[in-house]
Structure 1
Amino acid sequence: MLKRRLFVAGIATAATFALLPTLAAPALAKDRAVIAALPFISTAPVFIAKERGYFDAEGIDLDIKTFNAAQAVAVAVASGDADFGVTAFTGGFFNLAGKGALKVIAAQSREEPGYKFVAYIASKKAYDAGFRSPKDFPGKTVAITTVGSSFHYNLGMLADKYGFKLDQVTMKPVQSVPNMMAALSGGQVDATILPANNALKLEHEGTGKIIGWVSDYTPWQLGALFTSTKNVKDKRPMVERFVKAYQKGLADYAAAFLAKDSEGNRMAGEKALAAMPALEKWVKPTPTLDVVKIGANYMDPQGRLDVKNIYEQLAWYQEQGLVDKSVKAEDFLDLSFVKGHFGVPKKK
């Protein structure tokens, strides 16, 4: 019996010592990172991944800083105020990327038929006067954030599609999306172009009328996830882990908000309800499930880019004199973090 007691005691002692290194080991420090973004539904995968702990699981303590214009997001990353950015492409973005400051590493929004996101919206006065279609933009005054913004490009695509000159549209840069909304509501412009959440708010208030959706007229790769060139070079493992967490957020977003029934109608079931708290915390104005069901934009669940379209965007901005001719897309696109991108040019 004594031998048995000694044997059991020995096992217990050994087990205790085996646990000591685990108990005494300090928790590994997380990489701190900041992402600059807009408070739109298009940033939902980041918000979902943040709230569900996907970044924490990858050893990243993520802080989200929100801005009111895409250009400010790009500047934040280029200046080092943020480690990552996720927003629309702009002329300013391409110029910063052309200087070697930024690297595109994954996709964000894509204007895809059947998925509404950005709307053309006329003022009530202009609508009542006959402004009923995107074809009617010539001769109108339109609020945009800045020259070279994605809203500027949206008008450029319409001009190319319908054969009118872009200078037939008077663009009024007002610096931010809230200012664009105020300009329309206050009767300072005939129209503006807004994400669904914002456009539907104006329509509900009776100050604007949606006259079309960009996805139905000019599909394009609207936005991307990007980081600094320095991060790709010096912190690649962290960037890889960031993309992994982001992809989990994309997959959850797609499952929650991009599902359709057998007739092609958008659905919003239990997964959508479960994801809504993350959107309600971060998206402005605070969306309802009905609004998200209408305006949850398309994003590739794996973060794959339409690379060919990015080349086309860059060429357009260069033709407008908004981006230097020396800028080359292949210099700022890093396609190594996500597999299976679309439209990748063949190497010569």
Structure 2
Amino acid sequence: MSRFTRRQALGTVAALGALPLIARPALASTKIRLGALRFTSHAASFVALERGYFADAGLDVELEFFQAAQPMAVAVASTDVDYAVTAISGGLISLAEKGAAKVIGGSLSEEPGIDGQKILASNDAFAAGLTDPSKLDGKSFAMTQAGSSFHYMGSKIAAEEGAELHFKPLQKVGAIIGALKTSQVDAWSIVPHIAKPLAAGGSAHIIGNVSDYLPNYQVTTVFTSTKNADQERGQTEAFLAALSKGVDDFNAALVDKTLGEDGADEMVKLIHKYVYADKSLEDATPGIVNGAMRLNKNAALNLASVTDQLDWFKSEGLVKDSIGIDTLVDQSYVDII
């Protein structure tokens, strides 16, 4: 297959409308680029890098940070980034249909009993009566782009509440936060490490939980180029095995809390290098701890949730109706939940 260029990948996205694995060691110091967001939910990547798990697997990993899911999908498809962790988007699905990208695992999940993603209302909308999701009808809802996970979550919430939402694409999470703080948008859904500080600081109100509408939602996945999935199996298995060690450390420290206060403090300090790095450790700690949702052990994937997402994208006409789950997911790499 010929190299899928960034221009081709961007064109595809624009057309939307804007296990445990026993890894065969990769070649020593194989350089790879890993796409991430500066979210607590991406902590497994930070842990695997900082604690040498990638290096032990023979991988010299460089992190490249993004501000939305779809540009990350473009970067993977064009091989500017080798692997990435983020939400499924219409762009990723369409790039998979083009033979350029594959989901190879799961990452962040909603899980019963663990505080997850929140539904937020702006101060003005809350004062005007948007005090719970049943009152969303006619309101504006923020998303990065059409076909983003925010679009999916908002649509699912609205469908269950019988509401009609006006989606507002703002391209970047930072822009959405600014719009919510100034009441330029009425509502949004986001991970708790962002939602809770916004609410605690008086910038927005938490009015519901995403898990009430999408239980066991596979929020983010691990994906790579089809070339890596097909032709670099040893490297890809080594990457997943090292990442999974980071997952285990994170879950033990901040989700299951089996490592005590010292273990939790050490994990927060590590994550703080990448999340809320512009704040003091003391100020950043509550936000980091509040973002401690479950990461999937061994990069296991909730295939039912991914299938539901794919079906929604098809029903909205955001991707081709002919795309099947095997087009999107290379199941040879993953444990299926």
Residues 1:172 and 2:171 are matched in the alignment:
no
In 2, Cα distance between equivalents of 1:99 and 1:284: 36
Residues 269-284 of structure 1: matches in 2 within 5 Å?
269-284=261-276
Count of residue correspondences = 306
Letter of the 1:71 counterpart:
Q
Letter in 2 for 1:274: E
| Structure 2 letter corresponding to 1:207 | S
Q: Which amino acid aligns with 1:205?
A: G
Q: How far did 1:71 drift?
A: 0.8
Which residue is 1:235 aligned to? 232
Determine if contact 1:37/1:86 at 8 Å carries over to the other structure. yes
Aligned partner of residue 120 in structure 1, secondary structure:
strand
Q: Distance in 1 between matches of 2:319 and 2:42?
A: 26
The alignment partner of 1:272 has SS state of helix
* Aligned residue identity for 1:241: A
What secondary structure does 1:298 align onto?
A: coil
For structure 1, which segment, 252-261 or 325-334, has the greater mean C-alpha deviation from structure 2 after superposition? Answer: 252-261
Q: 1:194 to 1:336 in 2, by over 3 A?
A: same
Asked whether the equivalents of residues 158 and 165 of structure 2 are also in contact (C-alpha less than 8 Å), the reply is no
CA contact under 8 A between 1:77 and 1:83: conserved in structure 2? yes
CA contact (8 A) 2:133 2:161 kept: no
The residue correspondences of 1:114-133 to structure 2 (distance < 5 A) are 114-133=113-132
**Cα drift, residue 115 of structure 1:** 2.1
Equivalent of 1:223, from 220, 224, 230? 220
| Aligned counterparts of 1:295 and 1:52: Cα–Cα separation in 2 | 21
Larger Rg over CA atoms: 1
Per-residue deviation at 1:337? 2.5
- TM superposition shift of 1:278: 2.2
**Structure-1 residue corresponding to 2:152:** 153
SS of 1:151's partner is helix
| 8 Å contact kept, 2:144–2:172 | yes
TM norm structure 2: 0.86
**In the alignment, which residue of structure 2 is the partner of 1:293?**
289
Q: Shift of the alpha carbon at 1:292? A: 3.2
Amino acid at match of 2:264: A
The residue number in structure 2 matching 1:60 is: 59
Task: Please give the secondary structure, in 1, of the residue aligned with 2:331.
Answer: coil
CA contact (8 A) 1:121 1:211 kept: yes
Structure 2 CA distance for partners of 1:214 and 1:101, relative to 1, 3 Å: same
1:179-205: CA deviation from partner (whole Å, max 9, x where unpaired) = 000111122111222222222232233
**Which range moves more in the overlay, 199-208 or 105-114?**
199-208
Q: Which stretch shifts more, 128-137 or 31-40?
A: 128-137
Matched, 1:256 2:244: no
Deviation per residue, 1:216-239 (Å, 9 max, x gap): 332211111111110122221111
Go from structure 1 to structure 2 and tell me whether the alpha carbon gap of 1:324 and 1:81 turns closer, same or farther (over 3 Å shift).
same
Aligned partner of 1:138 in structure 2 is 137
TM-score when normalising by structure 1: 0.83
Inter-partner Cα distance in structure 1 for 2:328 and 2:316: 20
User: How far apart in 1 are the matches of 2:102 and 2:273?
Assistant: 29
Match of 2:301 in 1: 305
Deviation readout 1:71-95 (Å, 9 max, x if unpaired)? 1111110111100010011111111
Could you tell me whether the CA contact under 8 Å between 1:177 and 1:194 is conserved in 2? no
Secondary structure of the residue aligned to 1:148 is coil
Unaligned runs of 5+ in 2: 1-26
Query: In structure 2, what is the equivalent of residue 191 of structure 1?
Result: 187
Secondary structure in 1 aligned to 2:273?
helix
Structure 1 counterpart of 2:336: 341
Residue matched to 1:162: 161
- 1:210 matched residue in structure 2: 206
Query: CA–CA distance in 2 between the matches of 1:313 and 1:284?
Result: 30
- Map Cα deviations across residues 109-149 of structure 1 (whole Å, 9 max, x no partner): 11222223322111111112221112221111122111111
Q: Distance in 1 between matches of 2:137 and 2:44?
A: 36
* Residue in structure 2 matched with residue 92 of structure 1 by the alignment: 91
Q: Kindly indicate whether the alpha-carbon contact (under 8 Å) linking 2:275 and 2:288 is maintained by their aligned counterparts in 1.
A: no
**RMSD across aligned C-alpha pairs, in angstroms?**
1.8
SS at match of 1:139: coil
- Supply the AA of the counterpart residue of 1:37: A
Q: 1:101 to 1:284 in 2, by over 3 A?
A: farther
- Asked whether the 8 Å contact 2:141–2:188 carries over to 1, the reply is yes
Match for residue 323 of structure 2?
327
Q: Distance in 1 between matches of 2:257 and 2:248?
A: 15
CA distance in 1, matches of 2:168, 2:276: 23
Stretches of structure 1 that go unaligned for 5 or more consecutive residues are 1-27, 262-266, 343-348
